[in-house]
Amino acid sequence: MRFLVTMAEPRHYDRWAGLSDDDRAAAFAAFEKYAAAVAGRGEVLAGEGLAHPGEARTVGPGSGESRAVTDGPYAETAEQIGGFFLVELPDLEAAVTTSRLLPEAFSIEVRPVVPG
Amino acid sequence: MTELEDVWRDEWGRLLALLVAQFRRLDLAEDGLGDAFAAAADAWRRDGVPDNPAAWLLTSARRRIFDRLRSEAIARRKLPLLQVDMALTEEARTVMADAGESVVDERLRLVLLCAHPSLAPEHAAALTLRLVLGVSTADIARLFLVPTPTMAARLTRARKALSGERFAVPSGAELEARVATVAEIGYLAFTSGYAPGSGVDLVRADLAGEAIRLVRVLRSVLPAGFAGAADLDALLALMLLQHARRDARVSDGRLVLLPDQDRSLWRHDEIAEALALLRPLLVSGSTPYLLQALIAAEHAVAATAADTDWARITGWYAELEALTGSPVVRLNRAVAVAEADGPHAGLRLLEDLDLPGHRLPAARAELLVRAGRTEEARTSYRLAIERCGNDAERAHLEVRARSLGTE
């Protein structure tokens, strides 16, 4: 099964810029542990860090030229998504268990990808 | 926005060197700082120029680099790091320029890294212009007469080639050798500004200007009492003397040779600076840069072409030829000897010379004309025109050949 694992935390980008080197190194180590744990039972298919939501554009509903384009993410919330993984694992439980290894500050959404 | 351009010119190399010391990666430091300058273009226009532009840029660049590092950690991209002394990395990390702290100048490490022996000189020259002086890739491409994507790829390869190297200042003989390489890189960039191999763009004075800036930076960051400092002064003087003639070298797209140049167009302030640099060097040992600078200075101080002291110039050329054994020097010496002692004396020095390109047949043709050997001169001009790859220079040769009339 494939899962999309997204990582979010309040004011993630400001907090990240202000982290000490040690805290940053701890986050890097957590990513490594996570990747190793996933690799033990499945595979990391993709993983990327996202740019600041201020750099996002949201294209509204409609058709063609009538779709409005606005600056920013579609859901303006306190939580900012910092990055994501696409992983292949046996089941939802494994996806949730491995996600516990990701950096402590994140809330993590684990969502199955519809197979097909 | 000229303020941003000024900051770019003055601070790029210093900030880049600091970021390289902290993050130990050329690509990260360069992209981060480039992004910070791009962001500054918008932000400063909107909010005004900050009190401490360097601090603003440093903070912004660091933020961007932290984001890149997080992204690389997630995507598990691991790239080799430069070898940097731990104390230096620590120091670079803690520099907070917004607290009024001055940015430590690590440009010497950066300059020396770019002069690494593993890089071909023209690649090192391009990388030095990019990293130390902040010249854009597109401008460097234009200056070296290659398409921008070609130059971008060349720079990427050069950065990669250096990725595991030491970001350090060597000592003693190794430092001297590395500084000599930087000087060569500077002179290579300078001469490619004035003697492009092909194309219509006869003088690219801006490249020559950047090369002079590089030598100035190098002189300013070297440790006091550095053994090779005198030769750098000689090199700077040589560049200044040649560069001072830029406005007189071309008229209506045509090359104007030294004797025909309007000397009032020369930059006499730059000549004065060069002469002041050379004065204390007259008592030191001769080097190729010094001898070439002394020859250039002799031309610079002659009020008219007829006032040129050719006897002194031929003496320096003889010394320069003995020192370098270079056929190009022999060619120039022959031209000077012809001025001092007549065309036959000059032609004798060219007799056993072999040199690719158009310069040898062109010089021979000139001397043959003066010796009254018109038929041989025609043949030499034909060969020179055939071999010449520069449009303006070829046009000049064709005019000279035509002035001989037809046989």
On whether ipTM exceeds 0.85, the answer is: no
pLDDT band at B199 (very low <50, low <70, confident <90, very high): very low
Domain spans in chain A, listed from the N-terminal domain onward: 2-52+78-112
Indicate yes or no: CB of B67 within 8 angstroms of CB of A85: no
Do B86 and B128 lie in one domain? The reply is: no
Do B144 and B162 lie in one domain? The reply is: yes
Do B84 and B21 lie in one domain? The reply is: yes
Chain A residues in contact with B90 (beta carbon < 8 A): none
Chain B positions touching chain A (beta carbons under 8 Å): 62-63, 66-76, 93
Identify whether B332 is part of a domain. no
B81 to chain A, closest Cα gap in Å: 15
Are B74 and A31 spatial neighbours (Cβ–Cβ below 8 Å)?
yes
Chain A residues in contact with B62 (beta carbon < 8 A): 17
pLDDT band at B2 (very low <50, low <70, confident <90, very high): confident
**What total of structural domains would you count in chain B?**
3
Identify whether B114 is part of a domain. yes
Whether the per-residue pLDDT at B197 is higher than 50: the answer is no
DSSP letter for each residue of B88-117: HHHHHHH--GGGTPPPP--HHHHHHHHT-T
> pLDDT tens, B138-186?
888 877 778 899 999 999 999 999 998 999 998 888 899 999 999 998 9
Q: Report d(CA A83, CA A93) in Å as an integer.
A: 21
Report how many Cβ contacts below 8 Å link chain A to chain B. Answer: 47
Which of B58, B74, B105 is the endpoint of a domain?
B105
Q: Report d(CA B34, CA B39) in Å as an integer.
A: 9
Chain A residues in contact with B67 (beta carbon < 8 A): 13, 16, 49, 51-52
Do B150 and B190 lie in one domain? The reply is: yes
Using CB atoms, pick whichever of A46, A49, A85 lies closest to residue B67.
A49
**What three-state secondary structure class fits B213?**
helix
Homologous superfamily of the A2-52+78-112 domain (CATH) = Dimeric alpha+beta barrel (3.30.70.1060)
Do B77 and B142 lie in one domain? The reply is: no
* Residue B399, token pair as written in the block: 């005019």
Buried b (16+ CB within 10 A) or exposed e, A72-98: ebeeeeebbbbbbbebebeeeebbeeb
Do B134 and B209 lie in one domain? The reply is: yes
Candidates B60, B62, B68, B70: best to mutate against A (most CBs of A within 10 A) is: B70
Identify whether B181 is part of a domain. yes
Which of B75, B105, B135 is the endpoint of a domain?
B105
Q: Could you list the residue range(s) of the whole structural domain that residue B372 is in?
A: 356-407
Indicate yes or no: CB of A49 within 8 angstroms of CB of B66: no
Indicate yes or no: CB of A17 within 8 angstroms of CB of B70: no
Indicate yes or no: CB of A49 within 8 angstroms of CB of B73: yes
Which of B89, B105, B121 is the endpoint of a domain?
B105
> pLDDT tens, A39-88?
999 999 999 999 889 889 999 999 988 999 999 888 778 889 999 999 99
